[in-house]
Amino acid sequence: MRRFVTVGLILVGLGVVGGAVAKDDPFSRPPGRWNAFSPEDREAFADARIAALHAGLRLKPEQETLWPPVEAAIRDLARLRREQRAARAERGRMVDDAPAAIRAMAEAATARGEALRKLADASTPLYATLDQDQKRRALVLARPMRGEGHGGWRRHHRGPGEER
């Protein structure tokens, strides 16, 4: 009985992983989504988002000196996303090798975590100097940089009584 339960749990786990891998396959998405853009397009959009954040913050001269490390960390994170997207496309769906798929997801998550940690470290000194208006604008302007899976610019927070 115990062996049956163990085997059942493993099979359920492999099914969940297979579904997650299939969901993350850029070729399984309908055309017209983010994967329809070329790498150059996506890089241009990242540049535009960074420029919008920088312009929207309206940094004071003393704050401008703290911006370059933040911009570099954002660019590194965007580059990592592009590289991971290209690696997933090259690697394929991996539905036949669940342990390798889990390993690939873990490695990607670790790399994203390290890049986010660098962004947090780089942005802490600048964030400490922002006034409340700048912080509010930063929160709104940074939303599109979250990438897919977090709603990106398509998800809008609505007020009470408004439908989604």
Q: Which long-range contacts (CB under 8 A, 24 or more apart) does 16-22 make?
A: 17/98, 17/101, 17/102, 17/105, 18/95, 18/98, 18/101, 20/101, 20/105, 21/93, 21/94, 21/95, 21/101, 21/105, 22/93, 22/95
Per-residue pLDDT of the chain (164 residues; tens, 9 = 90+): 555 544 554 555 555 445 545 455 555 555 557 677 888 888 899 899 999 999 999 999 999 999 999 999 999 999 999 899 888 888 777 778 888 888 988 999 999 999 999 999 999 999 999 999 999 999 999 876 665 544 444 444 445 554 44
